[in-house]
């Protein structure tokens, strides 16, 4: 990847992380760990692939994005603010009663969100439906979906994984935010999902594994994907829960609690030094 472009994306990632911390701290609730682990994936998708703007945000031919792990939505709202779909002032209403920025994506309140998600296990099915619709309409837009690793313990995910190859959905791109921690413990202690790559390959997907915080690897995997294989794509992105904030990284407790003001100040200082 071009060094200038990479530096630009890294700057976006830092700003997104700062917005996540500020938003969740102000709300007094939210999911910092799994929002911070998503950042590079979302930054690359929205700035390099989806290229969402206020002008094309609801265009019929836009690429679609489904955040199946809906509790990671602070990262998505922060992206929307970074690209101008929301104002920083809007982020102050995160999780407030009646706000359009709910604790999980709500398409009714915020139409820039492609699907209301957060009942874990459902988002991939929605994305499969969107991909089928694109094929039926003979449209060439893509559907991107991000899953959580604890989420794929849900049976509905595997039904969707069976369906996509049957319908030849080469327009479907799925990222797994594989930070290896779910609600109250490590994934492999609660319900092991390995050997994950070979399982998904056996369902007839094209599978890739990358460091989900490395923009070069994210960029390179798209170069491989875009060479034309006809299968749906599944990118296992190895990430770190709480990435970017030292005292949150790989700590189970930061799945779903907000930092207090002192912790927030410490986190922001780390991000900007």
Q: How far apart are CA 158 and CA 182, in angstroms?
A: 18
pLDDT at residue 194, as a whole number? 98
pLDDT at residue 96, as a whole number? 96
What pTM was estimated for this model as a whole? 0.97
**Which domain CATH number covers 244?**
3.40.50.970
Which structure tokens are listed for 8? 């630009």
Q: Cα 91 to chain center, whole Å?
A: 18
> How many domains does the chain contain in total?
1
pLDDT at residue 227, as a whole number? 72
Helix or strand holding residue 81 (H, E) = helix 73-83
pLDDT grade for 117, boundaries at 50, 70 and 90: very high
pLDDT at residue 112, as a whole number? 95
Digit-coded pLDDT (tens) for 40-67: 999 999 999 999 998 999 999 999 999 9
Query: Any idea which residue has 């459902």 for tokens?
Result: 122
Q: Is 269 helix (H, G, I), strand (E, B) or coil?
A: helix
Which structure tokens are listed for 165? 């190859």
pLDDT grade for 121, boundaries at 50, 70 and 90: very high
Digit-coded pLDDT (tens) for 170-225: 999 999 999 999 999 999 999 999 999 999 999 999 999 999 999 999 999 999 98
pLDDT grade for 226, boundaries at 50, 70 and 90: confident
Domain housing 45: 3-271
pLDDT at residue 273, as a whole number? 87
Strand 64-67 and strand 206-211: pairing?
Answer: unpaired
Closest CA to 173 of 101, 91, 66: 66
Range name among 140-149, 221-230, 249-258 with the lowest pLDDT average: 221-230
Helices (H), 185-259: 187-190, 196-202, 215-225
Residues 6+ apart with CB under 8 A from 50: 62, 63, 65, 144
């Amino acid at each position: 990847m071009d060094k200038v472009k990479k530096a630009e994306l890294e700057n976006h990632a830092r700003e997104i992380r700062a917005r996540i911390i500020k938003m969740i701290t102000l709300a007094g609730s939210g999911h910092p760990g799994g929002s911070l682990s998503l950042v590079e994936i979302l930054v690359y998708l929205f700035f390099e692939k989806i290229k969402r703007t206020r002008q094309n945000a609801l265009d019929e031919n836009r690429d679609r994005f489904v955040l199946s792990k809906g509790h990671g939505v602070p990262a998505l709202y922060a992206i929307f603010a970074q690209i101008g779909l929301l104002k920083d002032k809007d982020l102050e209403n995160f999780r407030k009663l009646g706000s359009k920025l709910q604790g999980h994506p709500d398409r009714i309140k915020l139409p820039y969100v492609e699907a209301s998600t957060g009942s874990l296990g459902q988002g991939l099915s929605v994305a499969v439906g969107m991909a089928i619709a694109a094929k039926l309409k003979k449209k060439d837009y893509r559907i991107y979906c991000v899953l959580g690793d604890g989420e794929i313990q849900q049976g509905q995910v595997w039904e969707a994984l069976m369906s996509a190859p049957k319908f030849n959905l080469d327009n479907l791109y799925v990222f797994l935010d594989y930070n290896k921690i779910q609600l109250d413990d490590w994934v492999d202690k609660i319900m092991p999902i390995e050997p994950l790559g070979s399982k998904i390959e056996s369902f007839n997907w094209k599978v890739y594994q990358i460091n989900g915080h490395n923009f070069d690897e994210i960029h390179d995997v798209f170069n491989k994907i875009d060479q034309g294989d006809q299968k749906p794509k599944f990118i296992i992105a190895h990430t770190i829960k709480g990435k970017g904030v030292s005292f949150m990284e790989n700590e189970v407790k930061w799945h779903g609690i907000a930092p207090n003001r002192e912790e927030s100040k410490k986190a922001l200082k780390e991000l900007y030094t």
